[in-house]
Chains A and B, each alone.
Chain A
Amino acid sequence: VNIPRKEKDFQGMLEYKKEDEQKLVKNLILELKPRGVAVNLIPGLPAYILFMCVRHADYLNDDQKVRSLLTSTINSIKKVLKKRGDDFETVSFWLSNTCRFLHCLKQYSGEEGFMKHNTSRQNEHCLTNFDLAEYRQVLSDLAIQIYQQLVRVLENILQPMIVSGMLEHETIQGMSGVKPTGLRKRTSSIADEGAYTLDSIIQQLNSFHSVMCQHGMDPELIKQVVKQMFYIVGAVTLNNLLLRKDVCSWSKGMQIRYNVSQLEEWLRDKNLMNSGAKETLEPLIQAAQLLQVKKKTDEDAEAICSMCNALTTLQIVKVLFLYTPVHEFEERVSASFIRTIQMRLRDRKDSPQLLMDAKHTFPVTFPFNPSSLALETIQIPASLGLGFISRV
């Protein structure tokens, strides 16, 4: 029964009975769906609720309860990720919430360095009894682990799209020398039923991005994920270019430059031009340019050597070697031209690397991102099934 009462002054803590701890993590972590009314309206809600439970245990000066709750929290998150770790939505959700929980533990740690952006009310909410720095370290390691899992999941989804969408599918009509006859001649979107196109890749990027935004993931973290996705696209495309004769032609160079420009457009659209994502495409861009420039005179050789600073000598030589003219105005690259290039690049101290490491993961960081949310105003939505905890 809801008796209307004056809004009580809550202190932004949540109390539960010790014997309810398992029920708490079950409803709040193990069985919580990453998509729902409450978590969508208030991204990070599970993290805030968990932190408010920690606050009350701290307030009671109950180290046993604090330790037990933090341990159950960490173990439950691990359990969810073990069970549904191949689901992008689940992994993104728990990455966002683990980070938010970590931010809360910092923001309300009582350490001055983390209190700069706090309101005075928020400062009153700092933990008073326990220093949880060690737990923050454990959580930060957990977040790194979850991030790596997220990268693996998105890699598995993107991987099968890349070669088809970036190299094989023709975005520009009638460009390749191979005449599109008969069946293949229809317009791009209908022609390759089942085969991935550049648009499939862009749609996939959109869906990843929108899921992360909905989970309230830190903007700085989203940037790192996007940079990692672009690196994967660039590396897999370039590696295939370096292995296949049939994609080393002037028109493929055109195709790749066009596709890259669309990816850049996507970054601009999402306001991610400063994420470092574009830069990861540089080797691919240069390889595409290499396919298009003139490859005859000494001046051409010089231009190539100064242009291709993001490619290794081996990669440059390989592209020139594989280069296959498809149009009448193109010519095969002469052996002497390749030798000239090799001579010019002899003093360059670069790695003897041909293929890029498509599995490389950039190290991730989680910059502190305090929130303006006022803990004392947080209520517990009924759909979370946490009726057994109470506001304090």
Chain B
Amino acid sequence: MEEPPLREEEEEGDGDEVGPEGALDKSPSQLTAEDVYDISYVMGRELMALGSDPRVTQLQFKIVRVLEMLEALVNEGSLEAEELRMERDSLRKELQALRREGPSAGG
């Protein structure tokens, strides 16, 4: 019987799934909370591989804190940016409306 042909490996790359490690390659401004969770998992695994030395655990909980901070920054940062963007857009619209009204009111 014939062997089935090899499947072409082409799906790689258009990937939504780069695996948790992919989050570390991202630009900081593109980071989402999900990426922070992925980073947590990857680092947690590596810390665990170091064993249960109390110093490792201490470090682990400091990293938890740092990642909690990162999570908060990512969430608040995007929220703030979104608010500012909306504010800017509405001001821009207002300005355009006033400009349109301006000349017609004058002439």
Contact = CB atoms under 8 A, between A and B. Distances in A.
Interface in B34-79: 34, 36-38, 40-41, 43-44, 47, 51-52, 54, 57-58, 60-61, 63-65, 67-68, 70-71
B10 interface: yes
Given A42-B64, A379-B61, A383-B71, A292 B1 contact: yes
A262 B57 contact: no
Contacts of B40: 36-38, 40-41
Nearest to A207: B17
B67 A37 contact: yes
B106 interface: no
A43 B44 contact: yes
Contacts of B70: 37
Interface string A363-383: 000000000111011110111
Interface residues of B, number: 33
A378 B52 contact: no
Interface stretch (A147-155, A253-261, A306-314): A253-261
Contacts of A376: 54
B52 A41 contact: no
A171 interface: yes
A172 B5 contact: yes
Contacts of B17: 203, 206-207
Interface of A: 7, 35-38, 40-43, 171-172, 189, 199, 203, 206-207, 210, 214, 254, 257-258, 261-262, 292, 372-374, 376-379, 381-383
B57 A41 contact: no
B37 A189 contact: no
A378 B61 CA distance: 8
B68 A383 contact: yes
A377 B51 CA distance: 13
Contacts of A206: 17
A254 B5 CA distance: 10
Contacts of B34: 35
A381 B68 contact: yes
A172 B44 CA distance: 41
Contact of A189 (B11, B51, B52, B71): B11
B4 interface: yes
B51 A40 contact: no
Contacts of B57: 374, 377-378
A41 B43 contact: yes
5 contacts: A40-B40, A172-B4, A189-B11, A381-B64, A382-B65
B100 interface: no
